[in-house]
Structure 1
């Protein structure tokens, strides 16, 4: 809901509406442009996670390309990472981190509902290790 000051309050962020007169529009025409923008003071902690659509939109804005191009680029990167991990390769981005496949040995587990012992098969799982630059960025250094 928009209040009198032009502020839209949502559970996650504050959305402001800015109404400006379009360039070249005559006063009698009353043509206005409504822009939405997010407050730079919206607390980041209120957000739990960024989904793929929000990431693609942010990527498109940063690269100044369309959302479709950004979506294709992100999908290509994720496909390459998945393909290389499926081959057992390690992928390292200096400063950001590395992706690799970790092997889990077969083990005996316990069913929490019945208490019966079960055999858990060996498996391969993807693993990410953060790099020094990413760790420093997260810690605010």
Structure 2
């Protein structure tokens, strides 16, 4: 049985949406509002902080550094080697090039907070 079918059955059985599959998402604006509310700082200050955090992490990853934020997790670069694959429409073998992607590994404290 597929995941969405299990979630649908859980919703029907319990009459609620389980917390691990809730549809509402926090977007950037919501995050800034929540940060401002909790820190009692203006939204402009929180927006600036978030932009600087993103820029700093991006630059560090671009330079090949790993960024460790205690109690949050580790931002790092992962290298995916080239491999062969298949075009699903034609079935032809294609070469998938090497990719370098950012990755996030949550800290134990963050994982424990979700239990």
TM-score (norm 2): 0.78
Unaligned runs of 5+ in 2: 1-16
Match of 1:87 in 2: 63
Q: How does 1:1-141 map to 2 (within 5 A)?
A: 45=19, 46-139=22-115
Deviation at 1:48, TM superposition (A): 3.0
How many corresponding residue pairs? 97
SS in 2 for 1:126: strand
Unaligned runs of 5+ in 1: 1-42
The alignment's C-alpha RMSD in Å is 1.6
Which is bigger in relative contact order (C-alpha 8 A, separation at least 6)?
Answer: 2
- Is the helix fraction higher in 1 or 2? 2
- Is the strand fraction higher in 1 or 2? 1
| Structure 1 stretches of 4+ moved >6 Å | none
Specify the structure having the higher radius of gyration (Cα): 1
